[in-house]
Copies of this chain bind each other. A is one copy, B any other.
Amino acid sequence: MDGVLVLDRQKGITHLFNPNSIAVIGASATKGKLGNSVVRNLIDSGYQGRIYPINPKGGEVMGLRTYRSISEISGDVDVAVIVIPARFVLTAVEECGKKGVHALVVITAGFKEIGHEGQEAEKKMVEVAEKYGMVIQGPNCLGIINTSSPYNASFSSGTPGKGRIAFASQSGALMTGILDWSLMEKIGFSKFVSLGNKSHLDEADFIEAFGSDPDSTFILLYIESVVDGRKFMEACRKVVPHKPIFIVKSGVSEAGARAASSHTGSLAGSDTAYDVAFKQCGVSRAANMAELFDVANVYDDMHLPSGNRVSIVTNAGGPGILTTDACEASGLEVTSFSQETIDLLKKELPPAASVYNPIDALGTAQPEDYAICVEASLRDENVDSVIVLLTPQAMTKGAETAQVLVDSHKKYPDKPLVAVFIGGNSMVYPRIILTEGGIPVFDFPERAVNALAELYHFTVRRDRIKEEAIPRFNVEMDTVKEIIRNIRKDRRRVLLGNEAHAIAEAYGIPVARIRLATSAEEAREIASDLGFPVVLKISSPDIIHKSDVGGIRLGLETPEEVEAAFIQILGGATTHAPKAIVYGVEVQEMAPKGKELIIGCSRDIQFGPLIMFGAGGIYVNYLKDIAFRLAPLSSTDANELIFDTKIGALLKGVRGELPSDITGLEDTILRISQLVTDFDDIVELDINPVFAYEKGKGVIAVDVKITIGGEE
Residues of chain A having any CB pair with chain B under 8 Å: 32, 34, 114, 155, 157, 169-174, 176-178, 180-185, 222, 224, 248, 250-254, 287-290, 315-319, 321-322, 324-329, 334, 352, 363, 391-394, 422-428, 443-447, 545, 547-548, 550, 618-619, 622-625, 646-647, 649-650, 654-656
Contact = CB atoms under 8 A, between A and B. Distances in A.
A59 to B, nearest CB: 23
A290 B427 CA distance: 17
26 contacts: A34-B394, A171-B318, A171-B319, A173-B318, A173-B393, A174-B319, A174-B322, A180-B422, A180-B424, A180-B425, A180-B426, A181-B423, A182-B424, A183-B424, A185-B424, A250-B318, A250-B325, A251-B325, A252-B329, A253-B334, A287-B446, A288-B444, A288-B446, A289-B446, A622-B646, A622-B649
A254 B328 CA distance: 10
Contacts of A625: 623
A325 B253 contact: yes
A434 to B, nearest CB: 16
B290 A184 contact: no
Contact of A656 (B428, B445, B547, B623): B547
Contacts of A173: 315-319, 363, 391, 393
B290 A443 contact: yes
Contacts of A352: 114
Contacts of A321: 224, 250-251, 254
Contacts of A656: 547-548, 550
A550 B550 CA distance: 38
A287 B176 CA distance: 31
A703 to B, nearest CB: 14
Given A618-B655, A622-B649, A391 B316 contact: no
A254 B321 CA distance: 9
A650 B619 contact: yes
A325 B251 CA distance: 6
Contacts of A253: 324-325, 327-329, 334
Contact of A322 (B289, B622, B647): B289
B623 A646 contact: yes
Given A184-B425, A250-B322, A287-B446, 10 more contacts: A172-B318, A173-B316, A173-B319, A174-B316, A174-B422, A253-B328, A290-B447, A547-B655, A550-B656, A622-B650
Contacts of A326: 288
Nearest to A449: B288
A550 B649 CA distance: 21
A127 B76 CA distance: 92
Contacts of A447: 290
A186 to B, nearest CB: 10
A173 B114 CA distance: 57
Given A253-B328, A654-B622, A290 B444 contact: yes
A176 B443 contact: no
Contacts of A324: 253
A426 B181 CA distance: 9
A425 B251 contact: no
A114 B286 CA distance: 43
A61 to B, nearest CB: 18
A615 to B, nearest CB: 9
Nearest to A223: B318
Contact of A444 (B251, B254, B289): B289
Contacts of A424: 180-185
Contacts of A185: 424
Contacts of A325: 250-253
A627 to B, nearest CB: 15
Contacts of A288: 322, 326, 444-446
Contacts of A174: 316, 318-319, 322, 391, 422
Nearest to A646: B622
Given A250-B318, A446-B287, A422 B328 contact: no
A177 to B, nearest CB: 3
Contacts of A547: 655-656
A625 B623 CA distance: 9
A650 B34 CA distance: 60
Contact of A392 (B157, B169, B319, B545): B157
Contacts of A391: 173-174, 176-177
A225 B648 CA distance: 37
Nearest to A169: B318
Nearest to A314: B173
For A180, A185, A547, the residue with the greatest tally of chain B CB atoms inside 10 Å of its CB is: A180
Contact of A318 (B170, B445, B548): B170
Contacts of A649: 622
A383 to B, nearest CB: 18
Nearest to A624: B646
A614 B654 CA distance: 19
A318 B222 contact: yes
A619 B595 CA distance: 12
Contact of A171 (B170, B317, B329): B317
User: Interface centre among A184, A625, A647, by most B CB within 10 Å?
Assistant: A184
Contacts of A426: 157, 180
